Amino acid sequence: MTTAKITPEDMEKQVARFSQISPSKRSYSMETVGVPGEAYGFISDNEVYVMMAPAGNKRSAAKPAITGVPGLEVLVVECEPGRGPALHAHTRSIETFMCLTGRYELIWGDEAEHSIFLDPFDMFSVPTGVYRRFRNAAAEKSKLLVLVQGGIDDAFNDVYFSKSVGDDIEQRWGTAVKSNFSNIGVFFDTGQPVETG
């Protein structure tokens, strides 16, 4: 077998250096996707570092450190104590969490009625169609590894938040910003049932 010959310079392009990655919400603006970073922060309330994502990912404002193959996004999320995203569901992709530092509470259910805690290196995989959120349960800023699995049209293009979250966004930032969330694969519940897989 003949193997590929890759220079050190080319191999460096395959390295995601955490210290050199900007959180994705800093990439959002009215000019890039029609969603100001403050509005995105309202639903995510955390720092999302896109380590690896496939080419053609609709979250184009958040350029991945490594361009990977379709089917997998690798993210590191960093939250302040008590913080995390709003309750949301992925309709076609699977989201898996691994606590890296601190402690995280993973919450799920239509009314956020269930939860478990993850300590470092514990992992939890959420099936499609389940409302979920997470929050940093530690006393210090902590990191969570997030793997999103699904096709290029699925991963992070199938996120649904509740209608009330959409109403809050519309009230604070206007109808156009609420509508523009679809540019980054985020939608607000219209009462349609969420598919489960």
How crowded is the C-beta side of 4, counted as CA atoms within 13 Å?
A: 5
Q: How far apart are CA 76 and CA 97, in angstroms?
A: 10
Q: What is residue 161's three-state secondary structure?
A: strand
Tell me the pTM: 0.86
Give residue limits of the domains in the chain.
23-188
Weakest-pLDDT range from 25-29, 102-106, 160-164: 25-29
Burial code (b: 16+ CB inside 10 Å, e: under 16) for 117-150 equals ebeeeeebebebbbbbbbbbbbeeebbbbbbbbb
> Does the pLDDT value for residue 97 go beyond 90?
yes
Percent of the chain residues past pLDDT 70, beyond the cut: 89
pLDDT band at 196 (very low <50, low <70, confident <90, very high): very low
Which of 147, 144, 94, 148 minimizes the C-alpha distance to 121?
Answer: 144
Residue pLDDT, tens place only, 105-135: 999 999 999 999 999 999 999 999 999 999 9
How high does pLDDT run on average in the chain? 87
Hey, which CATH number is domain 23-188, 3.40.50.720, 3.40.50.170, 3.30.70.260, 2.60.120.10? Answer: 2.60.120.10
Q: Are strands 186-188 and 159-161 parallel, antiparallel or unpaired?
A: parallel
Specify whether the CB–CB gap between 116 and 90 falls below 8 A: no
